[in-house]
């Protein structure tokens, strides 16, 4: 038995012709769909990049317990389980997060591994002189660059241009190197048995740096502006021409991904691997490309542009090809599916499902798909409705880990000062974990969105939230069931206004909604704020904690002058306008509100 997984990062289903896109060339994805089963209802799980990879290894969601981080000592790892069972596992990847502190334990679970350098500001080549970036639209405004420098963040944009200078032709680009390494493994081992190969591409993740032959397919030859291939995670502020330039660069990169996928399909044809080799093609998440007025994925709710993802599976046991499946599936199903293919049962801690029968006959494996990011909106879909439930402002959030690293560094002293030992969860193999206050929660302010319900049958673009109390109660209880199944920390039930010991009733739902406008913000005792004002205050305090006592005093005086105990958005705006700060900073605070 043999298996291959080709995984992409930020591959949007709406930019694939097999999912209905009519202005892009992806003939090899169409070729794949003709040889495999195409899933129409695949959803993300733990977000974003490394949390998604952790659940592909472990077969369970992890966003309830910690943020971005490495595999834990207690985690089951599908490639490691295969290796222990005598299946040679190999990964080739240009995913730069694998050689950072927050991703350093993933590729080492494979029997052998190869890496390709140079993606997205990867600290690869050591040219000290700063490159000329005047021909590019920067993803950060000058003032943001200066703020990030003060906070210790490196300028990835400059490093990325250094890296690009060493990619003078396509064969030196990371995707080309990566797939060449994967194809070499197939060329060497196609006649052997019992192996699992992962070819994991960072593309089409931003920056959208594609070979010129693919850019020529989409770029407007009359465009005379600066190059724009690295969008910010921010609201759209660019001109229409600049927006289209960025989107065309994304499309070029998708077509490049398609071209290299074709080389894998060619190898399967050449060596007759379709007879005894499973093929999975998937991604971690999508990307917002001006929809909802934004670029990116993490700063706004996980709309379907991000959450609804492509997936394809060829299983030689059933031989099903050229067919589509409507069952709800997720990336947590990959580990049980691959293990089952090799005759290995999933571990007791895995919560995903073996998709063998879903591939064969569209067998249903779940009623609801649950997804989210640590501390932010908890989301659930039944395929028709998508419900996003926001956290209660001011409630605590913790990290549970034995591997205290973030994306590019260790947990800070301030975080480690809050450490206490937590009792084992049902998946930690009896180990206690460190429990620490999560960082930056006041700055992310997910509660500003409130609870959102979308009916995809009438609003596939998720443009207009609807209200349906009975549906919201049903989906809230579906979130509760998923939390229980993953042994979520007790405090999250309070944070997300969910009863751990029983399903919510309609009456309880209505009472809980009434409390949204009577919240008390720390430091403003004696006054009430609504959810939106609470969110804005949390963000302001996160960015300007030293100014907050003056803000609180001013808000109280204004509310008293109005004879009101309720601090409204209008009162907050007036208080900010009187801040003793620069006009630029004042405008930044007003934009938050």
Q: What confidence tens digit (pLDDT) does each residue in 111-125 have? A: 999 999 999 999 999
How far apart are alpha carbons 211 and 200 in whole angstroms?
19
Distances from the Cα of 534 to the Cαs of 172, 186, 282, 554, in angstroms?
Answer: 50, 56, 39, 16
CB atoms within 10 A of CB 486: 20
Helix (H, G, I), strand (E, B) or coil at 112: strand
Domain chopping of the chain, boundaries: 2-122+166-363, 372-516, 518-592
Q: What pLDDT does residue 147 have?
A: 64
Q: What pLDDT does residue 591 have?
A: 74
How far apart are alpha carbons 297 and 48 in whole angstroms?
8
Residue 556: pLDDT band (50, 70, 90) is confident
Flag the least confident range among 90-104, 132-146, 340-354, 359-373.
Answer: 132-146
pLDDT digits 0-9 by tens, 456-513: 999 999 999 999 999 999 999 999 999 999 999 999 999 999 999 999 999 999 998 8
How far apart are alpha carbons 532 and 385 in whole angstroms?
24
Q: Is the pLDDT of residue 403 over 50?
A: yes
Q: What pLDDT does residue 29 have?
A: 98
**Residue 204 preceded by cis peptide, ω within 30:** yes
Q: What pLDDT does residue 143 have?
A: 63
Nearest 5°: CA angle at 112, between 330 and 204? Answer: 45
How far apart are alpha carbons 49 and 402 in whole angstroms?
20
Q: What pLDDT does residue 582 have?
A: 73
Q: Do domains 2-122+166-363 and 518-592 have the same CATH topology?
A: no
Q: Is the pLDDT of residue 588 over 50?
A: yes
State the fold for domain 518-592.
Helicase, Ruva Protein; domain 3 (1.10.8)
pLDDT digits 0-9 by tens, 334-370: 999 999 999 999 999 999 999 999 999 999 999 999 9
Q: What share of the chain is helix, strand, coil (3-state, %, to 5)?
A: 40, 15, 45
Flag the least confident range among 139-148, 322-331, 460-469, 583-592.
Answer: 139-148
User: Considering the chain, what is the average pLDDT of its residues?
Assistant: 93
Of the chain, the percentage scoring pLDDT greater than 70 comes to 96
Mean pLDDT along residues 132-147: 80
pLDDT digits 0-9 by tens, 4-49: 999 999 999 999 999 999 999 999 999 999 999 999 999 999 999 9
Mean pLDDT along residues 505-529: 87
Give residue 89's region: left, alpha or beta (phi > 0; psi -120 to 50).
beta
Q: What pLDDT does residue 442 have?
A: 45
Structure letter (DSSP) for residue 10: S
How far apart are alpha carbons 243 and 236 in whole angstroms?
8
Tokens of 118: 């140079």
Q: What pLDDT does residue 151 have?
A: 60
Flag the least confident range among 29-33, 153-157, 580-584.
Answer: 580-584
Q: Is the pLDDT of residue 145 over 90?
A: no
Q: What pLDDT does residue 192 have?
A: 98
First to last CA, the chain: 57
The gap from C-alpha 119 to its chain's centroid, in whole angstroms, comes to: 18
Give, in words, the CATH class of 2-122+166-363: alpha beta
Count of all residues that appear for the chain in the document: 593
Which range scores top for mean pLDDT: 198-212, 443-457, 521-535? 198-212
């Amino acid at each position: 038995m043999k298996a291959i997984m080709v995984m992409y990062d930020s591959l949007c289903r709406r930019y694939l012709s097999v999912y209905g896109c009519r202005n892009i060339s992806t003939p090899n994805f169409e070729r794949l769909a003709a040889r495999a089963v195409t899933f129409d209802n695949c959803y993300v799980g733990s977000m974003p990049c490394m949390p998604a990879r952790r659940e592909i290894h472990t077969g369970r969601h992890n966003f309830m317990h910690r943020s971005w981080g490495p595999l834990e000592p207690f985690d089951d790892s599908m490639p490691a389980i295969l290796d222990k069972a005598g299946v040679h596992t190999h990964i080739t990847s240009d995913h730069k997060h694998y050689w950072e502190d927050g991703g350093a334990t993933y590729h080492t679970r494979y029997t052998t591994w190869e890496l390709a350098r140079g993606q997205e500001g990867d600290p690869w080549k050591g040219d000290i002189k700063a490159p000329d970036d005047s021909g590019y639209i920067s993803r950060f405004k000058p003032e943001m660059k200066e703020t990030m420098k003060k906070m210790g963040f490196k300028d990835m944009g400059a490093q990325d241009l250094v890296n690009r200078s060493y990619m003078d032709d396509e064969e030196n680009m990371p995707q080309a190197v990566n797939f060449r390494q994967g194809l070499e493994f197939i060329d060497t081992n196609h006649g052997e048995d019992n192996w699992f190969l992962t070819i994991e591409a960072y593309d089409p993740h931003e920056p959208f740096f594609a070979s010129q032959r693919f850019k020529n397919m989409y770029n407007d030859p009359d465009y005379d502006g600066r190059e724009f291939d690295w969008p910010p995670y921010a609201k759209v502020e660019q001109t229409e021409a600049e927006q289209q330039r960025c989107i065309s660069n994304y499309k070029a990169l998708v077509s490049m991904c398609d071209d290299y996928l074709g080389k894998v399909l060619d190898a399967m044809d050449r060596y007759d691997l379709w007879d005894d080799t499973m093929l999975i093609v998937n991604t971690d998440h999508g990307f917002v490309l001006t929809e909802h007025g934004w670029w990116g994925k993490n700063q706004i709710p996980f709309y379907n542009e991000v959450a609804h993802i492509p997936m394809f599976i060829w299983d030689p046991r059933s031989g099903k090809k050229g067919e589509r499946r409507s069952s709800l599936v997720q990336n947590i199903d990959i580990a049980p599916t691959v293990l089952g293919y090799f005759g290995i049962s999933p571990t007791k801690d895995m919560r995903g499902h073996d998709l063998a029968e879903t591939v064969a006959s569209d067998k249903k494996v779940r009623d609801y798909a649950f997804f989210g990011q640590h501390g932010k909106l908890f989301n659930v879909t039944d395929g028709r409705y998508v419900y996003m439930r926001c956290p209660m402002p001011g409630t605590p959030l913790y990290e549970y880990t034995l591997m205290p690293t973030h994306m590019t560094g260790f947990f800070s002293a301030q975080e480690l000062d809050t450490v206490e030992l937590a009792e084992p969860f049902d998946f930690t193999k009896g180990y206690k974990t460190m429990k620490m206050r999560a960082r930056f929660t006041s700055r992310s302010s997910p509660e500003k969105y409130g609870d959102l319900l979308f009916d995809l049958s009438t609003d596939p673009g998720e443009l207009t939230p609807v209200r349906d109390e009975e549906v919201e109660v049903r989906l809230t209880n579906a979130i509760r069931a998923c939390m229980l199944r993953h042994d979520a920390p007790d405090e999250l039930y309070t944070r997300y206004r969910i009863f751990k010991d029983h399903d919510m009733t309609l009456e309880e739902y209505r009472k809980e909604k009434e409390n949204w406008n009577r919240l008390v913000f720390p430091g403003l005792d004696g006054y009430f704020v609504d959810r939106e004002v609470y969110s804005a205050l949390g963000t302001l305090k996160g960015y300007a904690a030293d100014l907050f006592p003056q803000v609180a005093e001013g808000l109280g005086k204004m509310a008293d002058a109005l004879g009101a105990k309720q601090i409204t958005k209008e009162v907050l705006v007036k208080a900010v306008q009187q801040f003793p700060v620069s006009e630029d900073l004042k405008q930044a605070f007003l934009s938050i509100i």
